[in-house]
């Protein structure tokens, strides 16, 4: 702890010459801050992506190189890898903000917590599921899926992963005040996420067999939209409860 | 003088445990109130209640004539709001953005110079000592005026500061109060600029 930092003093000039708005922090300023936090941070956001790559790479090595078997299991394997990498990545969603006082400063300044949650999760999605969706193209060489199936797989990840992220985020916020709460996150989140996994892989399978999987993809997308609209408010509430504990 | 903040029969309470009861205080524009009391009397808890971080279950708070918590008070505590991934300037900008202030580069430079962090603008906050990190959050005091946030709640603001910085801080607190602001602060050091004292020991349960 520095007790003897040298100090150059100047007479305070006050805020009479600086730009002040009455609304408090804006959407753009919150977005910029969270983007900077993610971008300038350690490469921790890469770890879940590496996990995703490891799973989808090891899977073909483990089950063998028979094309029919790989094609049958490929979609499920990619989705399970996507789910596990997403759940693994939510550990640091809110805990650092609680520990370093960002949450407290947001509450005191009466900033919109749901908006902050939404922005934080949106940026997290870009750095996690957004990249996973692109990496899912590796299913073509690894599992010998057709390009058509792989595009549908990618679409299903894009449509379903926001809902998965919201469910993981609420589990993360619920366990925030608990010691070793991170261990509980998958236990709480995974049972809720199972239907999404079933629907998403089902949609790709339908397309693969020549049937129309669009209604299921639309259902996933609708679920994601609803969760994005509702969950930030619920998560903000649970964050406040975690705060009070 | 019209009171900016009135506490009427307030219970200082953390969870189920009341620490102090029937705490009353009138804080007017120009007041610098030194909140004193032994460890565990509830000084930090009271500041957190006024900041809206802990609930007020018993008693009444009147702020600027209306019943309710202070609107956007400045709260300085050990919960600094400093993210280690960000640079010093980025952290200070965020802390000012919260109060609707969009500082220019010159504003940031001036504020950081005031707290002795000139030249640290682009340094990652993770490379700073605890004292220097604390100065980032204190740099806000240089730019905030009573028009922006009339009430400052300061929890041990002089911790980890050298003598020169404490003197500079006291000058700033005096200027803020003279401009119409009010300050409620805790400190285990004597506060020469305080013109009011609230001793929580008298209200302990």
Q: Give the C-alpha separation, A16 to B101, whole Å.
A: 11
Residues of chain B numbered 124-143 and touching chain A (CB < 8 Å): 124, 129-132, 135, 141-143
| CA distance, residue B90 to nearest chain A CA (Å) | 8
Residue A6, pLDDT > 80, answer no
The answer to whether the Cα torsion of A245, A228, A94, A119 is positive or negative is: negative
Say yes or no for a CB contact (<8 Å) between B102 and A19.
yes
Nearest residue of A to residue B101 by CA position?
Answer: A20
Question: Residue A9's pLDDT is what?
Answer: 39
Confidence of residue A18 (pLDDT cuts 50, 70, 90): low
Q: Cβ distance B128 to B91 under 8 Å?
A: no
Give the whole-number percent of chain A exceeding pLDDT 90: 60
DSSP label at residue A128: I
Q: Does B69 touch chain A (CB under 8 A)?
A: no
Confidence of residue A53 (pLDDT cuts 50, 70, 90): very high
| CA distance, residue B152 to nearest chain A CA (Å) | 11
Contacts of B3 (CB under 8 A, 6+ apart): B26, B27, B28, B62
Question: Residue B125's pLDDT is what?
Answer: 92
Burial environment of residue A2 by CB neighbours within 10 A (0 to 12, 13 to 18, 19 or more): middle
Question: Residue A228's pLDDT is what?
Answer: 97
Kindly list the distances between the CA atom of residue B16 and the CA atoms of A70, A118, B56, in Å, as whole numbers in the listed order.
Answer: 59, 32, 12
Average pLDDT over chain A reads 87
Q: Give the C-alpha separation, B30 to B151, whole Å.
A: 10
Spell out the domains of chain B, with CATH numbers in brackets.
Answer: 3-203 (3.40.50.300)
Q: Give the C-alpha separation, B187 to B198, whole Å.
A: 12
ipTM: 0.91
Residue tagged 């049972």 (tokens): A191
Confidence of residue A237 (pLDDT cuts 50, 70, 90): very high
Residue-wise pLDDT tens digits, A155-172:
999 999 999 999 999 999
Per-residue pLDDT of chain B (205 residues; tens, 9 = 90+): 678 999 999 999 888 889 999 999 999 999 999 999 988 899 999 999 999 999 898 999 999 989 999 888 999 988 888 999 899 999 999 999 999 999 999 999 999 999 989 999 999 999 998 888 989 999 999 999 898 899 999 999 888 788 888 898 899 999 999 999 999 999 888 888 899 999 999 988 8
| CA distance, residue A9 to nearest chain B CA (Å) | 5
Question: Residue A4's pLDDT is what?
Answer: 35
Q: Give the C-alpha separation, A89 to A120, whole Å.
A: 13
Q: How far is CA A64 from the centre of its chain?
A: 32
Q: Which of B81, B86, B129 sits opposite A105 (nearest CB)?
A: B81
Question: Residue A3's pLDDT is what?
Answer: 34
Question: Residue A10's pLDDT is what?
Answer: 41
Q: Give the C-alpha separation, A206 to A17, whole Å.
A: 63
Residue-wise pLDDT tens digits, A73-95:
999 999 999 999 999 888 788 98
Residue-wise pLDDT tens digits, A90-130:
878 898 898 889 999 999 999 999 999 999 999 999 999 99
Question: Residue A8's pLDDT is what?
Answer: 38
Tell me which of B120 and A243 has the higher pLDDT. B120
Picking from A18-32, A181-195, A205-219, B65-79, which range would have the lowest pLDDT averaged per residue? Answer: A18-32
Residue-range domain boundaries for chain A? 43-244
Q: How many residues does chain B have?
A: 205
Q: Give the C-alpha separation, B101 to B19, whole Å.
A: 36
Say yes or no for a CB contact (<8 Å) between B77 and A101.
yes
Q: Which of B100, B113, B130 sits opposite A1 (nearest CB)?
A: B130
Interface test with A, best of B16, B63, B72, B81 (most A CBs within 10 A): B81
Burial environment of residue B26 by CB neighbours within 10 A (0 to 12, 13 to 18, 19 or more): middle
Question: Residue A245's pLDDT is what?
Answer: 64
Question: Residue A13's pLDDT is what?
Answer: 52
| CA distance, residue A237 to nearest chain B CA (Å) | 13
Q: Which of A7, A42, A108 sits opposite B75 (nearest CB)?
A: A108
Question: Residue B6's pLDDT is what?
Answer: 94
The angle subtended at Cα A153 by Cα A212 and Cα A151, nearest 5°, is: 85
């Amino acid at each position: 702890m520095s007790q003897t930092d040298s100090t150059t003093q100047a007479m305070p000039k006050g805020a009479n010459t600086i730009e002040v708005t009455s609304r408090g922090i804006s959407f753009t300023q919150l977005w910029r801050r969270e983007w900077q936090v993610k971008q300038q941070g350690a490469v921790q956001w890469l770890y879940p992506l590496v996990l995703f790559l490891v799973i989808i790479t090891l899977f073909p090595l483990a089950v063998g190189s028979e094309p029919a078997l790989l094609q049958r299991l490929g979609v499920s394997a990619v989705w399970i890898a996507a789910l596990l990498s997403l759940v693994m990545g939510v550990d640091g969603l809110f805990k650092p903000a609680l520990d370093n006082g960002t949450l407290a400063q947001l509450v005191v300044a009466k900033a919109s917590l749901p908006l902050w949650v939404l922005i934080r999760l949106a940026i997290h999605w870009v750095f996690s599921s957004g990249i996973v969706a692109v990496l899912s193209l590796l299913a073509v060489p690894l599992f010998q899926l057709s390009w058509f199936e792989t595009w549908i797989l990618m679409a299903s990840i894009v449509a379903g992963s926001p809902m998965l992220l919201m469910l993981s985020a609420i589990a993360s916020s619920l366990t925030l005040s608990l010691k070793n709460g991170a261990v509980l996150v998958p236990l709480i989140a995974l049972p809720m996420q199972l239907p999404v996994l079933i629907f998403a892989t089902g949609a790709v399978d339908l397309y693969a067999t020549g049937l129309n999987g669009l209604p299921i993809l639309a259902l996933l997308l609708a679920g994601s939209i609803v969760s994005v609209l509702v969950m930030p408010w619920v998560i903000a509430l649970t964050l406040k409860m975690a705060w009070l504990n | 003088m019209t009171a900016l903040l009135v506490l009427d029969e307030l219970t200082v309470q953390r969870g189920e445990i009341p620490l102090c009861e029937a705490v009353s205080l009138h804080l007017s524009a120009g007041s610098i109130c030194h909140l004193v009391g032994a460890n565990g009397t509830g000084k930090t808890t009271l500041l957190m209640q006024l900041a809206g971080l802990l609930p007020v279950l018993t008693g009444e708070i009147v702020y600027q004539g209306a019943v309710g918590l202070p609107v956007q008070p400045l709260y300085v505590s050990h919960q600094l709001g400093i993210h280690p991934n960000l640079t010093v300037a980025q952290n200070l900008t965020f802390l000012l953005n919260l109060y609707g202030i969009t500082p220019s580069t010159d504003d940031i430079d001036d504020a950081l110079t005031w707290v002795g962090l000139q030249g640290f603008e682009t340094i990652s906050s993770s490379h700073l000592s605890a004292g220097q990190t604390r100065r980032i959050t204190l740099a806000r005091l240089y730019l905030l005026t009573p028009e922006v946030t009339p009430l400052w709640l300061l929890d041990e603001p002089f911790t980890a500061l050298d003598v020169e910085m404490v003197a500079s801080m006291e000058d700033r607190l005096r200027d803020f109060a003279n401009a119409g602001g009010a300050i409620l602060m805790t400190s285990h050091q004597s506060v020469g600029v305080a013109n009011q004292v609230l001793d929580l020991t008298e209200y302990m349960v």
